[in-house]
Every structure is written in structure tokens, then in C-alpha cells.
Structure 1
Amino acid sequence: MSSTRHQDTRTDGAEGDARLLRALKPHLRAFERADTAPGLLELIGDARFVLIGEASHGTHEFYLERARLTRRLITERGCTAVVAEADWPDALRVDRYVRGRGDDVDAEAALSGFERFPTWMWRNTVMREFVEWLREHNRSVPAARQVGFFGMDLYSMYGSIRAVLHHLEQVDPRAAARARERYACFEHRGGEDSQAYGWGAAFGAVASCEDAAIAQLMEMNRRATSTLGQDRDEAFYAQQNARLVRNAEEYYRTMFRGRVSSWNLRDTHMVQTLAALEQHLRATRGAAPRMAVWAHNSHLGDASATEMGEQGEWNVGQLVRERWARESVLIGLSTYDGSVTAASEWDGPAERKRVRGGLPGSYERLLHDSGMERLWLPLRDHLEVAQLLHEDRLQRAIGVIYQPATERQSHYFHTRLPGQFDALLHIDRTHALQPLVPERHWHEGEGELPDTWPSGL
């Protein structure tokens, strides 16, 4: 993610960063837990969309502090939805469990629907504890105040097809027959391999199923608007699955033509999901909902303030700000070093990998040099901080793959932090997220867990 207009070394190097850090230090605030960080809840205020990011998909502390902060938003700020970078049908299984509507016996069973790589992203020890807490919370409040758990990603094209058909078979067999006829297009052109379908449709090897997906979505839209009573939730869930199929069909066709287009389609779908949820929850619960949104920093930090934006990409954070303005708050998380759960290649096994120290010229190195183990930096409406950090700096992003050998090329890009986030939480040393699915390579990683291994919400 490099750009020719950026330079990896800053003009005045270490001395300049030392001066910058001295000027920045009065604004750095120590914290022990995100939910008790001095001033953070005040910065969030009455925001209805609190976007809480992560610098990797495999860091224990990121998941833990995000869950802690979300619990506070639920109990004190009326948050009624957690929306994650997860597949809609799999997240809906968790939602049914936490709201007492499903058949799963515990949180681990409810999370077992996340079978697609990377399983550890949602099937991990922190999520298990948070989901159990959410179920207990929901048991203690009226139905209108129960907190739902939803996914906003679009990878589950075939799972969503099955979900639409299952719903219609329960409520309208004739409509199910029409849907089955339309969706047969996907089976004939890709089996259940989304990428094989996308490649074939992109290069003309097979005909596109776009018209079939659109026709089914239009029918589900009509059904959802005419459904009342207790079935209203189920009609909306099915409608959202149909929306996902339509958007995923376009996404998989586009991903073979250009990264920017497919990225933009994916993040646009995520925001469409937030908007649809907002409208549905407002209509069914009688009040504007508040949501905690969980995803990677690269999705939730405003892309217009990053190298991504210069390349023509937009993301959830940017679109949410454009749509909901100051009703939204964007919070990023970062780390300097430690360990992380990640794979070496797509669809590879989970490994516990050592995270290298942040590169010179990066935000990670700058905050590490403060000597503070945990700090947060307020950015919204802080003119002095904005002036101090007006230049682009490197920022690290580890997804589900971590390749230390090519770290600069694979995991760093330039950002302007004050435009990217409203607040940044930095935990200097972090640990690998523990998967619930047994992973031999993970246990062969960084050795035994230390006695100080963090746990508990």
C-alpha cells in the first residue's frame, strides 16, 4: 500500500520525532481499561454510532478492551446493537442465542457457525465471554432494550441464499419455489464456490446471475414492508440476506477486475447494512438505536485521511461520517509489539506469531517512545493535536495474514491520524488472541502463555 509521493524517512528523523513527542505528551492520557479511560466516555457523548477498530484481527487486548467499552455503552448509554465485521447469517445465530431465541446451549455453540476462514476472528475466548455476558444482560431487561448482535460483511453469498430459501419455506412455499428457481443460477455457474462464480462471470465464462439476485431482493423488499407483528424481525433478516446475495454477486464479479472497486463495494455494503438496521430497529423499537460497530481500523478509520483515499478507496468510517456526521465517533486501537494470531497465507492455519516493533517514522514507534504502557489520545476538536500531527505518518495494519519478512510493504500505509479517528487507544505490548478451535500450529508458536496473560471482561 505504498505511494510515490510518500517517503519512508522523515526529513528531521529521530530528533524531529523527539521534539514532536515532547509537544504531544501533555495530550497523552494513561488508562488501565478502555471502559474507565478518563474522558473517553465524555468524548463519545451521545453518539449513536460508536465505531471501535483494531490494528489486527488477532490481538487479545483489542478484543478485550473493545468488549469492555461496549459493555459500558450498553449499560450506561443505551446501546442496543453490536454490529461486527462478520457474516450476516453466522452473526444472526449468535443474536438468536443472546436474545434467547435459538437452540444453542452456550456461547461456544452459538459461535460455531463461524466456519469460514479465519475462524479465530469470532470464535475466540474473548468473544465467548462477551456473548455469555450479553445473554445474561438481555435476560435482565425488557425486550425493547435487548441488545442484538449482527454481521455486516458480505462473504456469505451461498449461506445467505440458503437462509432466504429456509425462511420462505417456512412462511410461503410458492415464494420459496420462485426464489429457488432464481438462485439456481448460482448453483449452475459456481457450485458453492463464490470466487469461481465471480471469475467465470467476470471473464464471460458463465452468464452473470445479477438479474436473478436483483429480482429476488425486490421481492424480499416487498415482503418486508408488508409484514407486521412478531414476524417482522424474521422478514427483515431474510431481506438482509437477499440484499447480501445481490451485493456479494457484484462484489465477486468485481474482485477480479480491480481491488479498489471491490473494496468500495464491500464497505458500501457494510454501511447499507448499518442503515438498514438503523431503520428497522427504529421502526420496531420506537426510538433511534445506538450501535457499537466492530471492525478493522482500515474499515473504521476515515479513508479520506489515509493513503487508501488517495488511491480512490473509501470505507465504513468515511461513509458513516458523511451520513451521520457527529452522531458518529471513530476509535482506533494500536500496538507496538508482542504477539498476534494470524496465518501466513489465505486459508492457512492459525499461528501465534511475534509482532515486530513499530517502524521508525510510524505512529506505533512514536507512541512507544512515550514510555507509557497504555495511553489514549483524544483527536476530535483538539486543534493543537491536529497541528502537531498534520503530516502523514506510517501506520501498521495486520489483517488475518501477517508477513513480518515484508512488513513495510505488506502492513504499513500512510495516514493523518487527526482526520482518521476521533480517538486512538494504544497498548504498547499485546498478546495473541486465543482461538476456540484447536490449532496445532498456534500452540507451537510463541511458547507457553505467561502468568500475566490478560483475561476477563
Structure 2
Amino acid sequence: MTSSVHDAGWAFADDSGVGAALKGFLQSLTARPRLLGLGEAMHGEEALPRLRNQVFQQLVEHEGYRSIAIESDCVAGLTVDAFVADGAGSLDEVMQCGFSHGFGESAANRELVSWMREYNTGRPVADRLRFFGFDAPLEMMSAASPRSALTALRGYLAAHVDAGLIPCGDDVIDRLIGDDDRWTNTDAAMNPSRSVGSSPDVTKLRLIADDLQALLVAEAPRLIAATSRDDWWRACMYGRTAAGLLRYHAGMADTSAKRVPRLMGLRDAMMADNLKAVVESQARRGPTLVFAHNRHLQRDPSRWQLADQLLEWWSAGAIVASQLGDQYAFVASALGGAPHQGLDVPRPDTLEGVLSTLPENRHLLNSRRLAAALADLGTELTLRTDNSTNYSYFALDPDHLQESDGVIFVKHLA
């Protein structure tokens, strides 16, 4: 039993082992991905982003990868990118201001940023590593005001195109947005009536955002020539962010039963748009590693049981995969025992239980080969159901194994 599953992948321990496992895995794919997704089974477990760091370093040094995108605010991520590319600011400032969701407090993220800055020092611009956040400026209980993204977009256009083409001035945007506190009101997360999203001001701002985005495309030749492709790309990101935030706030005001899954889908759609833009911008430089929760990168529909309601929506990975095809690859992470996270040794009739029979602690497995080995076992696997103390933990569903390309399994987290 063990040998057939063992033959589905590669065990690894140190950095060189990670490199050999990655090389074997990438060679087992039908195509070289432009976007490689590495999922994490839960947030807040430092061993997983540290494993990501090992993977990314090997990809950079041996596979030509030149960028990484993580599940963090895309606008804040510009601060991190400026630091790793050119040394702008200080590491402490970057960790405080460049991440959302509390990820700036992660020691593993600090190590990643430090390594990227060190790697880039003295290298030509074309060969430097790039950092991207690909999430929207959202938190669990709030969404940001569109002010900064919308004014940055308008400011870029106003500096380079005829003033008569700009639909409004900053004063109009400021008046319509009003107090930022009304946008970030956490009561709106659970109470649609407390959301600003249904106000006439939001309707007007959505039209302004649409007009500014259209102007950005219509004047692209002039704008890129006057500034740079990177500057124009950044302005496009501001446009996507402003329009996405306004769309999300309108969704927060929705009073229908579809409100929550709609919001989930809107967030992942914004993530997907950002990932596609990153892939396109980095096409000439090399592939990109994207790191996020498994649920944001998986190809199968995302599901969440909330009280008596089963919510379903498409993840960013599913959206991107539908458009990139085999140029997108997804490696999910799975965990065996993690006592400090409330996870005991998994039952033997679960996917994690079977993988726990492997002798080594860490494995990278090809999902297609693993599925074939499991079929040879003839054992009907069930979904792991033990509850972690970490609310963000989700077990891997054995029924959807072949909708991933690989699995990184960690048998024991101390």
C-alpha cells in the first residue's frame, strides 16, 4: 500500500530536496505553467509560508520564476514591491503598511521580503524579482473606501490627457465619497441596511470609475509613451480596484438570500482579475508563483456551510484556470497531525490518513498519479471531519483530488 502511494511523488526534507521534488513535479505536468498556485490548508501556521519560501527560492534559482503574488491587498502590495525592487522605504515600514489580513506580522513573510530584497540588490532591472498582492482591499468584516484607488487613477489620467476628457474633478469624487468611515463601517458586514452601497452616490461613482477606465484604455498609446508600461499597468490596477470595491459595496447592500455567496464570488473575481493582469505583465520575464488559501486557488466550486445554508461560488483559481487552461497549475497543501491547531492523527479512511502512512514528513505528489494509486487500493475515502481550532482549516476533499495538479503533504506540524 505504502509503495504505490509513495511512487506518486517525491519526499523532501531540506532545500535541495525541495528543488529535486519541484523539478520532478514540473516535469510530470503536460505543460509548463505560467501561473503556479501553491495553496495553504489554513492561515496562521508559519510552517506553511516558510515552506512557500523554500519553494519560491528554488523556483527562482532553478526554474526561471521572477515574481510572486500572495493573498494580500493589491494596493498595499505596491509598497512591498517598491522595497524589494528598489529598496524604497524600510523593512519595518513595509511589513507594517504593505500587507493586509495581519500578514505583515508573519515572520515568514518578513523573511520572504528580506530575501527578495537581497536577491535583487545589484541585479539589472529586467532580472529583479517582483512582488504582488492580488487580493482586494477587503477584510473579513469591512471593505475599504474607493477614495485612494479612484483618485490615484484620476490623477494619473489628469497628468497626461486633455482635461476635457476627464469626467470630473477630485472635488466631485471627494464629495461623493464623503467620510471614509461610512464605507468601512463593520456593522455593514452583517446588516445590509448599514451599507453605503445602495446610495445614489455609489451609483454615480461607479459611472465615474467606468468612464475613467475606458479613458485609460482609449488613451493607452499616449499614456504608455508618456510614462511607462509599468505606470500604465499600475493605473489599470487602481481602476480595477476602484470598480471592484464599488461593486462589492453595492453587494453588501443586497438584502437577498444570495448576498453572502455573491460577496464571496465578487472577491474571488477581483482576485482573478488581478492574477490575470500579473500573468500578462510578467509574460516576458518568467512564470509567477501565487500563494493563497487552498479555497482561493482550487478549480472545483468553493463551498461553505453557514448555519443551514450551503453557499457556493467559483474561486479565483477556478476562474483563472478556465481561461489559462494548462498554463495554470495548482498544488494544494494537506496536513496530517497538528496538535497545536487541534488536529490529531487523521483517520486511516481519509486522504490525509493514507498519506500519513508515508515514512517521510513532507511529500510533493502528482495528483493524477496519486489518484491512480488510491484507486488501486480499492479503499473508499471519506472527507476528514475532525475540527481544528483554526477556523480557516479545511480538509482536502478526496472526490476533487484530480482537480488539482499536485499535493504538498506535511505529516506532522510541531
Rate the CA distance shift 1:281–1:213 in 2: closer, same or farther, 3 A. Answer: farther
Which position in structure 1 is the counterpart of 2:94? 110
Is the counterpart of residue 394 in structure 1 residue 383 in structure 2?
Answer: yes
Rate the CA distance shift 1:63–1:205 in 2: closer, same or farther, 3 A. Answer: closer
Which position in structure 2 is the counterpart of 1:131? 113
In the alignment, the residues of structure 1 paired with residue 326 and residue 370 of structure 2 have an alpha-carbon distance, to the nearest angstrom, of 15
Which position in structure 2 is the counterpart of 1:423? 406
Rate the CA distance shift 1:254–1:419 in 2: closer, same or farther, 3 A. Answer: farther
In the alignment, the residues of structure 2 paired with residue 111 and residue 321 of structure 1 have an alpha-carbon distance, to the nearest angstrom, of 31
Which deviates more, 215-224 or 60-69?
215-224
CA deviation vs aligned residue, 1:344-397 (integer Å, no higher than 9, x gap): xxxxxxxxx533225534322332243432222211466624745996642579
What is the deviation of 1:209? 0.8
Q: Which runs of 5+ in 1 are unaligned?
A: 1-18, 340-352, 432-457
1:355 to 309, 328, 342: 342
Which position in structure 2 is the counterpart of 1:212? 205
Rate the CA distance shift 1:319–1:100 in 2: closer, same or farther, 3 A. Answer: same
Q: How many residues align?
A: 384
CA deviation vs aligned residue, 1:276-297 (integer Å, no higher than 9, x gap): 2333445xxxx27421111101
Q: Which runs of 5+ in 2 are unaligned?
A: none
Secondary structure of the equivalent of 1:228? helix
Rate the CA distance shift 1:53–1:205 in 2: closer, same or farther, 3 A. Answer: closer
Which position in structure 2 is the counterpart of 1:270? 271
Secondary structure of the equivalent of 1:295? strand
Is the counterpart of residue 30 in structure 1 residue 32 in structure 2?
Answer: no
Secondary structure of the equivalent of 1:248? helix
Amino acid across the alignment from 1:31: F
Which position in structure 1 is the counterpart of 2:74? 88
Rate the CA distance shift 1:136–1:61 in 2: closer, same or farther, 3 A. Answer: same
Judge conservation of contact 1:221–1:239 (CA < 8 Å) in 2: no
What is the deviation of 1:140? 4.0
Is the counterpart of residue 58 in structure 1 residue 44 in structure 2?
Answer: yes
Judge conservation of contact 2:156–2:235 (CA < 8 Å) in 1: no
CA deviation vs aligned residue, 1:47-93 (integer Å, no higher than 9, x gap): 11100110011122211111111122222222222111110111110
Judge conservation of contact 2:337–2:343 (CA < 8 Å) in 1: yes
Judge conservation of contact 1:53–1:331 (CA < 8 Å) in 2: yes
CA deviation vs aligned residue, 1:390-427 (integer Å, no higher than 9, x gap): 9664257999x825xxx9xx845745243231110111
Which position in structure 1 is the counterpart of 2:130? 148
Judge conservation of contact 1:374–1:428 (CA < 8 Å) in 2: yes
What is the deviation of 1:270? 1.1
What is the deviation of 1:315? 1.0
Secondary structure of the equivalent of 1:53? strand
Which position in structure 1 is the counterpart of 2:280? 279
Judge conservation of contact 2:66–2:285 (CA < 8 Å) in 1: no
TM-score, structure 2 normalization:
0.79
TM-score, structure 1 normalization:
0.72
In the alignment, the residues of structure 1 paired with residue 6 and residue 79 of structure 2 have an alpha-carbon distance, to the nearest angstrom, of 45
Which position in structure 2 is the counterpart of 1:181? 172
In the alignment, the residues of structure 1 paired with residue 196 and residue 264 of structure 2 have an alpha-carbon distance, to the nearest angstrom, of 19
In the alignment, the residues of structure 1 paired with residue 376 and residue 294 of structure 2 have an alpha-carbon distance, to the nearest angstrom, of 22
Is the counterpart of residue 74 in structure 1 residue 60 in structure 2?
Answer: yes
In the alignment, the residues of structure 1 paired with residue 210 and residue 381 of structure 2 have an alpha-carbon distance, to the nearest angstrom, of 42
In the alignment, the residues of structure 2 paired with residue 232 and residue 138 of structure 1 have an alpha-carbon distance, to the nearest angstrom, of 20
Equivalent residue runs for 1:305-454 within 5 Å: 312-338=312-338, 353-357=340-344, 359-360=346-347, 361-380=349-368, 384-385=372-373, 387=375, 393-394=382-383, 402-403=390-391, 411-412=394-395, 414-431=397-414
Rate the CA distance shift 1:82–1:183 in 2: closer, same or farther, 3 A. Answer: farther
In the alignment, the residues of structure 1 paired with residue 39 and residue 345 of structure 2 have an alpha-carbon distance, to the nearest angstrom, of 18
Amino acid across the alignment from 1:83: A
What is the deviation of 1:334? 1.7
In the alignment, the residues of structure 1 paired with residue 110 and residue 148 of structure 2 have an alpha-carbon distance, to the nearest angstrom, of 26
Judge conservation of contact 2:297–2:316 (CA < 8 Å) in 1: yes
Judge conservation of contact 2:37–2:291 (CA < 8 Å) in 1: yes
